[in-house]
Chains A and B, each alone.
Chain A
Amino acid sequence: MSAPAIHRSAAGMYRTTDGLGRWPYRGQVAAVGIGHSPTMRRWDGEAQTSIGAWCILAIRKAIADAGVSPAEVDGLVFDPETSTGSYWPADQPVPADFRAAFVPASDPLDGLAQLSPEWLLKNMPELTNVKFVMLASHCMSMAVAATVEAVGRGLTNVCVAVKGWHNFAGRYYQSGPNALPTVSGPGKHTPQSWAGPTCYGTAMQFERYLHKYGGSHDMMAPFVVNSRANGLLFPEGYFAQHRDTPITAEDYLTTRWIAKPANLLDNDMPIHAAAAYVFTTADRARDLKQPPVYVLGHAGGGTVQGDSYGPIPPRSCVETLEEAQANAASTARHVYEAAGVSASDIQFENCYDGFSLFHVFWIEGFGFAGVKEGECLDFFQTDISINGPNPVSPSGGNIGSGRTRFWGWTDTIQQLQGRAGARQLKIDAHCGLVGAFMPIWSNFAVLSKDPG
């Protein structure tokens, strides 16, 4: 096998501005395979449950699910960062059994606390034909957007998008700079040093939202309860595997605050898990094992500068509600323009919910189910379940299935393939919306049963 071309940035693959028109590869790229590792709350220290091992497992399962041969896979897109926030301690040696279990790469932390093309390819000798490797950042949505764009452009024919998240023992964010009596860097002007919890920004925006439009935090309960209920029907998810108990509205209303109006259940729980998807051309997809799910278009919101794909910077020290709403709305505009559809064509949504509260901004930004600015909390009081006319987050999302940012992709593909099992929607859904993560920085896609 000749060495693959390694593209260390995916920034050139993203569609983040107005006026780009319809995606030129609309309906020409399809999802055909899904693979998941099991889940754990935290890594148990075993070599075969390391995040590298689980990424390999997810890739192998996705390839088998698609029914392609490993030698057909010619593309690989993934995020080399795997941290949920925890890092391998600098003074802790790499475990001997991990070193013994895998072919090492130049960086000893590869496979343990990060990924590299070198490590993955050395430890997956069956991938004999990979010619295209691209490194995306932050989440599966960034990897999938780059993957489908690469397949569309003909840079790869059968491409696997992979995302792994490791979660080590201990509470993180408590040490390092947060433990110091002084603060340096740009965080001294922002909530990073003035508040602390990562949900602060969204909580502050949500308080402003309640001030502008009325309503209360209690009105989020149906969304959070529904998310956990959906998560318990998702065999791949953390809660279905490890904590098979629903939550009630009372549970939600009585749980402790983190940054009021965000409580513990508004925050997603970090877990250890990996997933992979196989995408290929619509032509190749026709005679594979699973029904193809077509990509009608992808787009996002962010700032592309050369090789960097970063967030949309706020005007001042914190993103305001109005900026979040504008960012969500412009992302929706890009996505609908790319896919050549409108909000009324979308029958279910799997928008990101890493903090439950900003799911409101995505639903309103995309106008899902006709919901307009300021109306989402009332919408949550209607039937948003998998049995209703407007299914919200049937995957359960991060809130219902654990912090991965990839459940929505699995669910959307499965729903459109008709193999979502107990979560299968009662409506005959042809078109779904999926993506992540926050309004400042995202990639979304419209997926469909039909190529166009």
Chain B
Amino acid sequence: MPKQSPVPDDLDRPFYDAANEDRLVLQYCAADDRWQYPPRPACAQCGSADDLSWRQAQGRGTIYSYAVVYDTPIASLRSDQPFNCAVIELDQCRDIKFMSHLPGTPAGQVSIGAPVQVVFLRTPATGQKVPEWQIAQS
């Protein structure tokens, strides 16, 4: 579905550059053995940026929860109302969550706990790709 195109900044450009190459990369703090998303200037646990690097993550997760949006103030999303807006829990690190519109899943027909896999979809305004999540085929 159409959505706003994210404009990368210095902090999250590696995340969006990788998305354009169909890769999911996340910040990882080696000192704390800790994944981090959304991107931050330093590790939120130890406060240091010294051991923070970008690492490729596995693109599998499960649906943590969702709501069905009927009345959004965001112009780019209005044409597809009602739409699913889910929170995805990354299998590799369950603390890491992503937002998703669950492409391919009809509004409201969402199963919490269902397995999903990442896909990278182009946004209309700039062509920037973003990670999206679809029900995994068994």
Chain A residues with a Cβ under 8 A of chain B: 171, 173-174, 178-186, 188-191, 193-197, 200, 203-205, 207-208, 211, 256-262, 313, 315-318, 320-321
Q: Contact: A257 with B70, CB < 8 Å?
A: yes
Q: Contact: B4 with A183, CB < 8 Å?
A: yes
Q: Determine which of A196, A258, A316 lies in contact with B77 in the assembled complex, contact meaning CB atoms within 8 Å.
A: A196
Q: Contact: B101 with A257, CB < 8 Å?
A: no
Q: Contact: B69 with A259, CB < 8 Å?
A: yes
Chain A residues in 8 Å Cβ range of B70: 256-260
Q: Contact: B98 with A321, CB < 8 Å?
A: no
Q: How far is it, in angstroms, between the C-alpha of A155 and the C-alpha of B44 when the chains are bound?
A: 36
Q: How far is it, in angstroms, between the C-alpha of A189 and the C-alpha of B88 when the chains are bound?
A: 12
Chain B residues in 8 Å Cβ range of A259: 67-71, 85
**Given that A200-B67, A258-B71 are contacting pairs, would A190 and B38 also be in contact in the complex, using a CB cutoff of 8 Å?**
yes
Q: Contact: A205 with B5, CB < 8 Å?
A: no
**Given that A182-B7, A182-B126, A191-B85 are contacting pairs, would A207 and B112 also be in contact in the complex, using a CB cutoff of 8 Å?**
yes
Q: Contact: B6 with A262, CB < 8 Å?
A: no
User: Does B9 belong to the interface (CB within 8 Å)?
Assistant: yes
User: Does B108 belong to the interface (CB within 8 Å)?
Assistant: yes
Q: Contact: A181 with B5, CB < 8 Å?
A: yes
Interface residue tally for chain B (C-beta within 8 Å): 41
Q: Determine which of B38, B65, B100 lies in contact with A186 in the assembled complex, contact meaning CB atoms within 8 Å.
A: B38
Identify the closest chain A residue to B68 (Cβ). Answer: A260
Identify the closest chain A residue to B72 (Cβ). Answer: A196
Q: How far is it, in angstroms, between the C-alpha of A179 and the C-alpha of B76 when the chains are bound?
A: 7
Q: Contact: A260 with B67, CB < 8 Å?
A: yes
Question: Which residues of B (4-40) have their CB < 8 Å from a CB of A?
Answer: 4-7, 9, 12, 37-39
Q: Determine which of B6, B98, B108, B124 lies in contact with A188 in the assembled complex, contact meaning CB atoms within 8 Å.
A: B6
User: Does B73 belong to the interface (CB within 8 Å)?
Assistant: yes
Nearest CB of B to A183, in Å: 4
**Given that A184-B9, A316-B96, A317-B38 are contacting pairs, would A197 and B4 also be in contact in the complex, using a CB cutoff of 8 Å?**
no
Nearest CB of B to A222, in Å: 22
- Chain A interface main SS type: mixed
Nearest CB of A to B14, in Å: 13
Q: How far is it, in angstroms, between the C-alpha of A360 and the C-alpha of B128 when the chains are bound?
A: 40
Q: Contact: A211 with B71, CB < 8 Å?
A: no
In the A-B complex, the 6 residue pairs with the smallest Cβ-Cβ separation, listed nearest first, are: A196-B72, A181-B125, A208-B65, A189-B38, A194-B99, A188-B6
**Given that A204-B87, A316-B37, A320-B97 are contacting pairs, would A180 and B67 also be in contact in the complex, using a CB cutoff of 8 Å?**
no
User: Does B54 belong to the interface (CB within 8 Å)?
Assistant: no
Nearest CB of B to A443, in Å: 24
30 contacts between A and B (CB under 8 A): A173-B73, A181-B125, A182-B4, A182-B5, A182-B6, A182-B7, A188-B12, A189-B12, A190-B99, A191-B99, A193-B6, A195-B67, A195-B72, A196-B73, A196-B77, A200-B67, A204-B87, A207-B67, A208-B64, A211-B112, A258-B71, A259-B67, A259-B68, A261-B67, A316-B38, A316-B95, A317-B38, A317-B87, A318-B87, A321-B65
User: Does B120 belong to the interface (CB within 8 Å)?
Assistant: no
User: Does B3 belong to the interface (CB within 8 Å)?
Assistant: yes
**Given that A179-B75, A197-B73 are contacting pairs, would A204 and B66 also be in contact in the complex, using a CB cutoff of 8 Å?**
yes
Question: Which residues of B (76-92) have their CB < 8 Å from a CB of A?
Answer: 76-77, 82, 85, 87
Q: How far is it, in angstroms, between the C-alpha of A174 and the C-alpha of B78 when the chains are bound?
A: 11
Identify the closest chain A residue to B75 (Cβ). Answer: A179
Q: Contact: B85 with A200, CB < 8 Å?
A: yes
Q: How far is it, in angstroms, between the C-alpha of A186 and the C-alpha of B12 when the chains are bound?
A: 9
Identify the closest chain A residue to B5 (Cβ). Answer: A182
**Given that A194-B3, A194-B99, A317-B99 are contacting pairs, would A207 and B74 also be in contact in the complex, using a CB cutoff of 8 Å?**
no
Q: Contact: A205 with B65, CB < 8 Å?
A: yes
Nearest CB of A to B54, in Å: 15
Chain B residues in 8 Å Cβ range of A193: 3-4, 6, 74
Chain B residues in 8 Å Cβ range of A189: 6, 12, 37-39, 99
Q: How far is it, in angstroms, between the C-alpha of A414 and the C-alpha of B126 when the chains are bound?
A: 57
Nearest CB of A to B15, in Å: 9
Chain A residues in 8 Å Cβ range of B72: 195-197
Chain B residues in 8 Å Cβ range of A260: 67-68, 70, 82, 108
Query: In the complex, which of the residues B44, B76, B77 has the most CB atoms of chain A within 10 Å of its own CB atom?
Result: B76
Q: Contact: B77 with A313, CB < 8 Å?
A: no
Q: Contact: B69 with A197, CB < 8 Å?
A: yes
Q: Contact: A194 with B101, CB < 8 Å?
A: yes
Q: How far is it, in angstroms, between the C-alpha of A184 and the C-alpha of B11 when the chains are bound?
A: 12
**Given that A195-B85, A315-B95 are contacting pairs, would A320 and B64 also be in contact in the complex, using a CB cutoff of 8 Å?**
yes
Nearest CB of B to A177, in Å: 9
Query: In the complex, which of the residues B75, B97, B99 has the most CB atoms of chain A within 10 Å of its own CB atom?
Result: B99
Q: Contact: B73 with A257, CB < 8 Å?
A: no
Q: How far is it, in angstroms, between the C-alpha of A259 and the C-alpha of B85 when the chains are bound?
A: 9
Q: Contact: A208 with B112, CB < 8 Å?
A: yes
Q: How far is it, in angstroms, between the C-alpha of A145 and the C-alpha of B85 when the chains are bound?
A: 36
Q: How far is it, in angstroms, between the C-alpha of A157 and the C-alpha of B59 when the chains are bound?
A: 60
